[in-house]
A and B are shown apart, each in its own frame.
Chain A
Amino acid sequence: AQTVTQSQPEMSVQEAETVTLSCTYDTSESDYYLFWYKQPPSRQMILVIRQEAYKQQNATENRFSVNFQKAAKSFSLKISDSQLGDAAMYFCAYVEGASGTYKYIFGTGTRLKVLA
């Protein structure tokens, strides 16, 4: 069965600095997608970034980028120029491609604190 592991329950970063959140996953599939979702104190789940497994190029969205290592089954999120509004829970998620069951597998989350 597929699993998603976030080994860092909590991380802290100074405002304007860079932080990397780790995520590893286990699957025997070759066609899948990976996501990072942000959950601020409002509890709303917000999609941060998405990576297709068949793409070697790492996805980027403004200050957010990923380091996707397919062979190592690693999918880390880098936040550059951290802002106070980045403080939130961050969840890594996996879903199989078009032939899958469409069940998303979520990690247990990393709480990010941003220090002023």
Chain B
Amino acid sequence: DGGITQSPKYLFRKEGQNVTLSCEQNLNHDAMYWYRQDPGQGLRLIYYSQIVNDFQKGDIAEGYSVSREKKESFPLTVTSAQKNPTAFYLCASSFLTGGNQPQHFGDGTRLSIL
């Protein structure tokens, strides 16, 4: 079955440490997205990519970095510069047809500070 796989499900970060969240899709989608979700808030866009080796900052990119070396993969690194990383992170993907084909989501990664 096609879908989006996020790993790990739970992740803990120590002070000053960078951590990487994995996102892989086998839906042949062109675009991939990373969102952050905090309690009582909606989804806020961190980064998105429409094509391999290209990505754009979303609304809250500071303290995060991404890469898109393969169409299927879009890992997110939470750097030590992100002072409040505790949140639920969702990865999504879609075709580049606007809303004609909606976004599909992974199951998310919960990141906490040790």
The CA-CA distance from A52 to B108 in the complex, in Å, is: 28
- How extensive is the interface on chain B, given as a class? 20 to 34
Give which listed residue, A6, A35, A45, A107, contacts B99 with CB less than 8 A: A35
Verify A33–B98 contact, CB threshold 8 A. yes
Pick from B58, B97, B105: contact of A44, CB below 8 A: B105
Give the contacts of A25-79 with B (CB-CB under 8 A). 31-35, 42-45, 47, 50, 52
Report if A108 contacts B (CB, 8 A).
Answer: yes
Stretch of B17-25, B42-50, B60-68 with 4 or more beta carbons under 8 angstroms from chain A: B42-50
Cβ < 8 Å to A, chain B residues 21-80 = 31, 33, 35, 40-43, 45, 48, 50, 58
- Give the docked Cα–Cα distance between A102 and B100 (Å): 10
Main SS class of interface, A? loop
Chain B stretch 82-97: residues in CB contact (< 8 A) with chain A = 88, 90, 92, 94, 96-97
Assess whether B99 is in contact with A33, with CB atoms less than 8 Å apart.
yes
Q: Does A85 contact B (CB under 8 A)?
A: no
Nearest CB in chain A: distance from B110 CB, A = 8
Which residues of A have CB within 8 Å of B103? Answer: 104
Instruction: Tell me the complex Cα distance, A99–B100, Å.
Output: 12
What residues of chain A have their CB less than 8 Å away from a CB belonging to chain B?
6, 9, 31-35, 42-45, 47, 50, 52, 91, 95-100, 102-104, 106-109
